[in-house]
Amino acid sequence: MGSSDAKSRLPQRLLKRAAESLRLPLRDAAECWHAGRLSVRAADGAEPRVLALEALVFEDDHLLLDGRPIDTTCTPVYALLNKPKHVTCTARDPNGKSDLSPYLRALPAGCFPVGRLDRDTTGLLLFTNDGDLASAVLRPDHATDKRYWLWLDECLSDDDPRLATLVDGVLHNGELLSARSAHILARNAHCTELELTLTQGRKRQIRHMCFALGLHLVHLHRRGIGPLHDGGLALGDWRLLGEPEVEPLWAAVGGRAGLRARKVRALFRYAAETRSAGAPHVRLEQWLAREPCGTTVASDG
């Protein structure tokens, strides 16, 4: 498969390629490099070299760990956890509290959580070893829908102005926090069930919004991420996602083709920067010249 193939691997920073290939977090892959264990043999068969972590490596380069080739093929894995309450969204809680470590041990190696939920919030958490999808889900400009169920300890009327304010936005620390939609699911004389759909992903956003508006939030649960939902998945359980679920998620975040085009634009910008600095990246220039959408992307960038 040549570089001109639309499905060929784009040039990547050494750190990212190493982390993906070794199925390690970026920090652990960097530690391998600092220990002098990582090297790269170029496609021309020259002697292995130690490159900078930020150096670009290409599809036909060979990564070596302790002098031995690393299998750089990585089968994408996607999984969904219905996170229970009182679980910290880190691999290791610094205070020794319950965290994601039991789930990470059960999942295939190299998986990591996409974003986080605060300790008291329950609901869907996506795991993957696919850094591209993770970045696409988290990018603010992709406006990926995330749906939340709120239990409020009060009865809201349909014309309560705070419902509209949740959508119009609440100012918090100089930033406007808002929901795409807010509607009542159920209520009685003592409580209200509310559904909010967010496209923003600020830390403790819903809790800040409720506090600012005087809404007494008893419990918060994330029930959906894009087309994914929590139906049939009990709290504390996880399951792998199949292609019929993954492809709609990709579509919801702009698709693989859109992501590739953005990356190619970034590579064109990087090539232009090195050229302007008087140190052109010859190999990258050659790769870009063979990229099918190169002419269009270059003119856009």
For the chain, percent helix, then strand, then coil, each to nearest 5? 35, 25, 40
Catalytic residue among 60, 118, 168, 237: 118
**Secondary structure (DSSP) of 132-200:** HHHHHHH-GGG---EEEEEEESSPPPTT-HHHHHHHH-EEETTEEE--SEEEEEEE-SS-EEEEEEES-
Calpha distance 92→75 (Å, rounded): 25
Cα angle for residues 49, 109, 70 (degrees, 5° grid): 25
Amino acid code (one letter) for 71: D
Max distance between CA atoms of the chain, in angstroms, equals 76
Q: Are 134 and 19 in contact (CB under 8 A)?
A: no
The answer to whether 160 is a known catalytic residue is no
Question: Torsion angle of alpha carbons 139, 228, 83, 210, nearest 10°?
Answer: 60
List active site positions: 118
